[in-house]
Amino acid sequence: MGSIPHTLSSLLWRVPWRDTLVRALGPNYGLRVVLFHHIADTDTPFTDGLALRCPRERFAERVAFLAEHYDPVSLDTLLDAGRPLPPRPVLVTFDDAYASVPRVAAPVLAEHGVPGLFFVNAAFLDNADLSLDNLLCYVLNTRGMKPIESAARVAGGERLAKAGRPDDLTGVIQGICTRLTRGETQRFKAELLDATGLDAAALARDADLYLSRDELRGLARYGIEVGNHTYSHVFCRGLDESDLADEVGRNQEMLETLTGSPVRSFSVPYGSLADYTPALRACLRETSHGSCFLVHALPNPAELDLECIYRVSMRSAADSETFAELEVLPRLRRLAAWGSRPETRESAS
């Protein structure tokens, strides 16, 4: 679903009654949720290859577009069962703990009166540690694939051989990291650091990628609520009850202690239904998370399911492309997957 839908969307965008026309693809579309990660003009070795960066000017333009053409809402609005959603609701969200959210994105949202929801991993606050994704990115960009393959063999053994040799960072994350248990993931990271002689904490301090505790506390003044994204940004598909208590429960407690506010929402790392396991669902209910967000870029029904809210990774640079991402492509995906739940993720987070 690439050039043809975008060409169609570009034509539709010029038509005054475009909303009526696009509803023919599927009228039952309620809340739109957009996802951003890192707002920066250039990549570094820690982010080059993750495809999660949005340039500052583009971000400001997309927020202005959303404020003009949609009705921005907060998590409060979604969780208030007695409050109806506005006609064209949109929620702006961010994943991971990037410092560019409070430093760059928050003032832009405040300027346009747009609330936000920021899903944070407490392990990386104050740049105390480096996320495995950012570490893998750095190693691949500075040392190549060999140390990654070596560390994976030590951590995961022969069963990783079935995944084949990864060609790039996506191949590493999808081919290796998804097959590791939480304990194996920790060993993989330790082996990778040992093989390269790198210090994760020192790298994190030098990179200055993640927000501080003070910046976390200051998000509320910009109308940004803090949500749970697991403690250390892990694939949830292999987590048992003990792992979930540590990754979900501990992260929630730490964020609530730091902000003084309840953490009421959860975002599944990497955004896939494959990680939204029955064990995770049970854990979220027990810990009073009132909403759960994935990716998949599908339309949310008018009767919103708070336990399964789909988001669109915002990659567009033009108004017609944003229209395609929010209105056309989700409807086409729903038509293509009619009658079945999606089994593949549309985008990482």
Average pLDDT over residues 313-338: 89
Q: Rounded mean pLDDT of the chain?
A: 91
Query: What is 36-55 written as a DSSP string?
Result: E-EE-SS--TTTTTT--EE-
Instruction: Report which of 217, 326, 204, 309 is spatially closest to residue 266, judged by C-alpha positions.
Output: 309
Which pLDDT score is estimated for 345?
Answer: 39
Q: What is the CATH number of domain 3-128+209-336?
A: 3.20.20.370
Contacts of 329 (CB under 8 A, 6+ apart): 1, 5, 297, 312
Flag whether pLDDT at 62 surpasses 90.
yes
Sign (positive or negative) of CA dihedral 336, 164, 348, 180? positive
Q: pLDDT band for position 337 (50/70/90)?
A: confident
Question: ∠ CA(188), CA(190), CA(194), 5° rounding?
Answer: 115
Which pLDDT score is estimated for 42?
Answer: 97
Which pLDDT score is estimated for 157?
Answer: 73
Which pLDDT score is estimated for 6?
Answer: 67
Q: pLDDT band for position 19 (50/70/90)?
A: confident
Which pLDDT score is estimated for 23?
Answer: 83
Domain residue spans of the chain: 3-128+209-336, 132-202
Task: Give the span between the Cα atoms of 342 and 251, in whole angstroms.
Answer: 28
Residue type, 79: L
333 φ/ψ sector (left φ>0, alpha ψ -120 to 50, else beta):
alpha
Task: Give the span between the Cα atoms of 345 and 226, in whole angstroms.
Answer: 24
Flag whether pLDDT at 106 surpasses 90.
yes
Helices 132-142, 146-156: inter-axial angle, 10-degree rounding: 140
Query: What is 111-149 written as a DSSP string?
Result: HTT--EEEEE-GGGGGG-S--HHHHHHHHHHHT-SHHHH
Three-state secondary structure call for residue 265: strand
Average pLDDT over residues 253-259: 98
Instruction: Report which of 326, 339, 337 is spatially closest to residue 22, judged by C-alpha positions.
Output: 326
Which of 164-178, 220-234, 303-317 comes out lowest in average pLDDT? 164-178
